[in-house]
């Protein structure tokens, strides 16, 4: 938090830490103040964000632009990521996540680090496949 008790956004935290290589964030009830619909876009504008080796976000709100982030993962090819979404995401957002998970598990090979993705309602079989793909990368 800033001195005036306003919440520091995730992109401001990353921007202030140019040597950051690992970032793990457990979001709480302030999640939609830390992460917004513009967060991924703003993170990608930070030159040293591409140096992150490992990104773990827990309790992610549905305003997080998962499509944009997944495109980034496929381009970056080196970042390991674990994405655990809030139990309060909508069915529509779950469908977006399911489409990404389906794309991942249907491919036989990946030229990027497969992200660990978890959300309430994920298909058990797909979750197992994601888990297996991620464990192979370790």
Could you give the number of structural domains in the chain? Answer: 1
Coil/strand/helix, residue 27: coil
Coil/strand/helix, residue 81: strand
Does residue 19 sit within a domain? yes
Does residue 60 sit within a domain? yes
Mind listing the pLDDT tens digit for each residue in 90-102? 999 999 999 999 9
pTM for this model (two decimals): 0.90
Contact predicate 42/34, CB 8 Å = no
| pLDDT of 138 higher than 80 | no
Count of Cβ atoms closer than 10 Å to residue 56 Cβ: 15
| pLDDT of 29 higher than 80 | no
pLDDT at 17 (0 to 100)? 96
Q: Label residue 6 by pLDDT band (50, 70, 90).
A: confident
Does residue 38 sit within a domain? yes
| pLDDT of 111 higher than 80 | yes
Q: Label residue 31 by pLDDT band (50, 70, 90).
A: low
Does residue 42 sit within a domain? yes
In which element (H, E) is residue 25 found? strand 22-26
Range of the domain at 113: 10-137
Mean model confidence pLDDT for the chain:
92
User: Does residue 50 or residue 2 have the better pLDDT?
Assistant: 50
Does residue 40 sit within a domain? yes
Contact predicate 134/116, CB 8 Å = yes
pLDDT at 32 (0 to 100)? 67
Q: In angstroms, what CA-CA distances link 67 with 8, 40, 113?
A: 24, 10, 16
Residues 12-38: what's their mean pLDDT? 88
């Amino acid at each position: 938090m800033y001195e005036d008790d306003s919440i520091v956004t995730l992109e401001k935290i990353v921007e202030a830490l140019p040597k950051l290589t690992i970032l793990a964030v457990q979001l709480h009830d302030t999640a939609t103040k830390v992460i917004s619909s513009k967060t991924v876009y703003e993170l990608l504008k930070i030159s040293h964000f591409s140096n992150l080796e490992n990104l773990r976000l827990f309790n992610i709100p549905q305003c997080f632009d998962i499509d944009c982030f997944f495109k980034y993962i496929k381009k970056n090819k080196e970042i390991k990521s674990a994405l655990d979404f809030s139990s309060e995401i909508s069915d529509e957002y779950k469908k977006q996540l399911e489409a990404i998970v389906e794309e991942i598990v249907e491919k036989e090979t990946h030229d990027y680090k497969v992200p660990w993705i978890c959300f309430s309602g994920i298909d058990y079989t797909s979750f197992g496949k994601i888990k297996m793909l991620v464990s192979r990368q370790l």
